[in-house]
Structure 1
Amino acid sequence: MAEEATREAILGAAMAHVPFDGWSEMTLKAAAADSGQPLALARALFPRGGLDLALTYHRAGDRAMIRALADQDLGALRFRERVALAVRLRLEAADSEAVRRGSALFALPQNSAAGAKAIWGTADAIWTALGDTSDDINWYSKRATLSAVYGATVLFWLGDESSDHHATWDFLDRRIEGVMQFEKAKAAFAKNPLGKALLNGPLKVLERIHAPKIADDLPGRCQD
């Protein structure tokens, strides 16, 4: 069994144990046994135990969202509606108890950085799937803003008992509307005399900020 298939098999087996034991070493041991994989191999694939299991589950959700978004007809939607749809698809593909357990895990001080990175990865996946081509500071600001929106929406979603999560989608729309108002304010600032003076003066250093680049010649990367 290939490494990725083995990882997926262990993760799949873990899902039955997460509601009871959380994303934990106990869950990893049970998942290894249920999937017929040696515990040593499971620990090699998930060296940080439950934390790596949770992160693998999170990344799988991002990939599912990207696939679901690719099947949507986005042409008739405004951009804010596309962002809202992406977030909604991401949550609809998730298991609420698995996410609840993951949120508790990532809330621990030693795991907070990994949790923040996972949310940033989701925001990046959404912007990339929607065709974002920004290469300057906007690359960072878009992902930071969407990370905040997504994180807040997840917490609301976990406590939402409304029919078909209507309250969550309304909450999401309000958060995105707030972001749009902020973007409008930024554009207006850049056009007024004071904004122009600052952007051409003290804030001109921001022009040196660019999106991160991944070298194509790193070991393990495919060459075209």
Structure 2
Amino acid sequence: MSMRPANLKQAVSLAATALATGVMPQAMPRDPARDAALRALAAVAGERGWGLPVLRDVAGAQAELLFPGGEAELVEAWSDLCDRDMLAHMQDTPEPRLSLRVREALLYRLPLDEAMRRAASRGVSAQLVGGGQAAFRREWMRTVNAIWMAARDESSGATYLTKRLTLAQVYGATFLYWLAGVPDEAALAAFVDRRLACVRRLGQARGLVVGRVMGLMGLIRPQAAG
């Protein structure tokens, strides 16, 4: 069986919608031995897949014991490791502007690395064809949240949720573009810039509408009060 693009787009849409609950999934188990095994597996997963036999081959017979959830746990744990790598990288960014920190985090999380892209493609296929849709949604929610954390966003309440829902759309479009194969780094950066510019334009338009509505309310209230 193979994954169809329509199935992937639907899965991405459902994963983004899951953010509306405002409840983040629990953190994955983490330790250096698991991380080392995941890195060894991810290096060959694009060619050989995410199966436990491959894990045993590249990380040793005992590596399977590190993942009691079996094959279903491997891709989800690798996504979590990629999120943590992004967070570590972003700790030292000197960029003062929030929007550009988001851009930097996005581009780091989806690098122009063919081995990583192929590994991600095989992982998504394994999840969506093999019944791992819930894991796909969990890792998607974690990644969107991690990007905002990497950008050092300090919003709360409704703004916290709105920002994550907005970023889910940007990340979703970028992920699908990246997964399909990106010609070069400039093309990926330009794609991200277009998505972020669209978000800014929508935000500005909303601000204008709200401002006009509030202005009209200000004109109407005195007449109503009289």
Match of 1:6 in 2: 33
Match of 2:55 in 1: 31
Q: Which amino acid aligns with 1:62?
A: D
Tell me how many residue pairs correspond in the alignment: 186
Report the alpha carbon displacement of residue 112 of structure 1 after superposing the two structures with TM: 2.4
Matches within 5 A, 1:138-177: 138-162=159-183, 164-177=184-197
Judged with a 3 Å threshold, the aligned counterparts in structure 2 of structure 1 residues 38 and 167 are, in CA distance, closer, same or farther, namely: same
Report the alpha carbon displacement of residue 60 of structure 1 after superposing the two structures with TM: 0.9
Alpha-carbon distance in structure 2 between the residues aligned to 1:57 and 1:47: 15
Match of 1:90 in 2: 109
Judged with a 3 Å threshold, the aligned counterparts in structure 2 of structure 1 residues 29 and 180 are, in CA distance, closer, same or farther, namely: same
SS in 1 for 2:31: helix
Report the alpha carbon displacement of residue 87 of structure 1 after superposing the two structures with TM: 0.3
Report Cα offsets for 1:72-131 as digits up to 9, x if no partner: 2112xx432221111001112861111111222343383223212212211111212222
Matches within 5 A, 1:40-79: 42-43=64-65, 45-75=66-96, 78-79=97-98
Alpha-carbon distance in structure 2 between the residues aligned to 1:49 and 1:69: 31
Judged with a 3 Å threshold, the aligned counterparts in structure 2 of structure 1 residues 47 and 185 are, in CA distance, closer, same or farther, namely: farther
Match of 1:124 in 2: 145
Q: Which amino acid aligns with 1:80?
A: S
Report Cα offsets for 1:10-51 as digits up to 9, x if no partner: 21332344123322xxx3233234423436xx25x3233222
Alpha-carbon distance in structure 1 between the residues aligned to 2:180 and 2:54: 29
Q: Which amino acid aligns with 1:170?
A: A
Identity over the aligned pairs, expressed in percent? 31
With normalisation by structure 1, the TM-score equals 0.71
Asked if the contact 1:84–1:172 (Cα under 8 Å) also holds between the matched residues in 2, the reply is yes
Q: Which amino acid aligns with 1:166?
A: A
Asked if the contact 1:190–1:196 (Cα under 8 Å) also holds between the matched residues in 2, the reply is no
Alpha-carbon distance in structure 2 between the residues aligned to 1:138 and 1:114: 26
Asked if the contact 2:127–2:135 (Cα under 8 Å) also holds between the matched residues in 1, the reply is yes
Alpha-carbon distance in structure 2 between the residues aligned to 1:182 and 1:195: 20
Alpha-carbon distance in structure 2 between the residues aligned to 1:88 and 1:110: 29
Q: Which amino acid aligns with 2:70?
A: G
Q: Which runs of 5+ in 1 are unaligned?
A: 198-224
Asked if the contact 1:61–1:93 (Cα under 8 Å) also holds between the matched residues in 2, the reply is no
Equivalent in 187, 196, 200 of residue 207 of structure 2: 187
More helix by share: 2
Q: Which amino acid aligns with 2:68?
A: P
Q: Which amino acid aligns with 1:148?
A: Q
Q: Name the Cα RMSD after superposition.
A: 2.7
Report Cα offsets for 1:163-182 as digits up to 9, x if no partner: x3322211111111111122
Q: Which runs of 5+ in 2 are unaligned?
A: 1-29, 218-226
Match of 2:24 in 1: none
Q: Whose relative contact order is higher, 1 or 2, with alpha carbons under 8 Å and at least 6 apart? A: 2
